[in-house]
Amino acid sequence: MKPPRVRFAPSPTGRLHIGGLRTALFNYLFTRKNGGVFILRIEDTDQKRLVPESLEDILRNLAAYGLTVDEGPRLIDGKISEVGSYGPYTQSKRLPLYRRAIDELIEQGSAYPCFCTVQRLSELRTSQEAQHLAPGYDGHCRNITPDEARRRRTAGEPCVIRFRTPKKGQTVAHDLIRGDVTFKHETLEDVVLFKTDGFPTYHLANVVDDHAMDITHVIRAEEWLPSLPLHLLLYAAFTWTPPEFAHLPLILGPTRKKLSKRDGDTAAADFLNEYVPMAMVNFISLLGWNPKTEQEYYASLDVLVKDFDLAKVNKAGAIFDVAKLKHLNRLHMRALPPEKLATLMQLECTADEAIRFLPIITEKAETFSDVRSGIAFLLAAELVYEPSLLVPKAGTREKTITVLTAFLQWLPTCGEQTWRNAEALKAETLAWVAKNSWTNSEALWPLRVALSGLAKSPDVFAIACALQKVKVLERIQRAIEHVKNLQK
């Protein structure tokens, strides 16, 4: 197999959806696995739906998730520029190519002008619905003679150009994921290839561009599968060799329906607020692809590339399981050097604080929000104690003051090595507590609350070692003052 050339071809009509990111990822993995070229092409032929900031959103997200584009638009120093010798890579800049293609189809009789008005087409749909018929164009202008069509176009009568779909026979398409799929021509309508605004539709533009850019494999979402016979018929009309096709399974929400905005955040950028980019890449790679092993955690794109195989992509839809995403994110957060995680999250802390504090929090945190809320007590200049929280339920104010005062006097006697090891500090502390004939709850509850200000917190000895001696003693002293100020 020659090195593949694949393209991710989004429309800049809104923010990059998580389904689009999955399509881009599978194209990228396939390309890198087989030593090919990953191309970004912007399909902006639907001019009415364009959103100006969409292109930058697409470029920023591909870069954020590590999907490096070999050809096509890139965001370099805040400016969009194109790389590659097959450009331009934006369809609105390729209109002469499509006009030549449509003229060729009209000349050979594979396409024809359609002069049906919007009103007629609306009435046709209403009639079909009333008769419980499948909606679709009825071929009203299909048999207009070329001379009449040419005369009406020359006179300035508005028209679209439709494909003259064969009405007999069938197209058998081979899909790399689904095998052979058969489409009867009688079920296909004469779709529009060229619009009245002078722009091609997706169907014409993507076929022309895939041929012109030497695309070898088209890996796209399942929703485009019904368009496959039309595209193959277009390739045949042009006498071009089509690329190979693979249609990825749908991503499904919790109700097993196609994932949508109703299921929560679905824009790729939104996930960057809560998840490590590689955790998201790891997660969405498993939405439809199964490595056929027990492995679920992939530390990097390079490792994922080695395992990826298009033949292991499933036909069935994949459930977007948030619990699984959070589990993988926890693993990725723990695997990152703390200072890198802090930078990624834009935490307001020093590298030293990140190294000391983050391992405690990421032990159980699943999202960036969990980390931000969990680390707050460690970064706080001063804790605000909830009234009476420092006193155990079975304890007294006086006993709590006695215990905390004893800690204030004893902890400085622990060696520096002990302060660097939570297990060592725990062993020495528990021995000291027992020597004083206190229960663990009598001693450790007020100590933990003094250091965290929380009813529930990570391990008290891990907290103490992370805060270090000076900060620990400061917090105990303030906790003592707080308890003293409580009413008897």
Q: Check: CB of residue 248 under 8 Å from CB of residue 18.
A: no
**Which residue reads 């027992």 in tokens?**
434
The whole-angstrom separation of Cα 308 and Cα 285 is 9
Residues with Cβ within 8 Å of 308's Cβ and at least 6 positions away in sequence, in order, are 29, 30, 33, 285, 289, 291
Q: Check: CB of residue 65 under 8 Å from CB of residue 277.
A: yes
CA dihedral 380, 381, 387, 392 (to 10 degrees): 70
**Which residue reads 């805040």 in tokens?**
78
Query: Is 168 marked active-site?
Result: no
The single residue of 168, 261, 393, 488 carrying the catalytic annotation is 261
Q: Report the catalytic residues.
A: 261
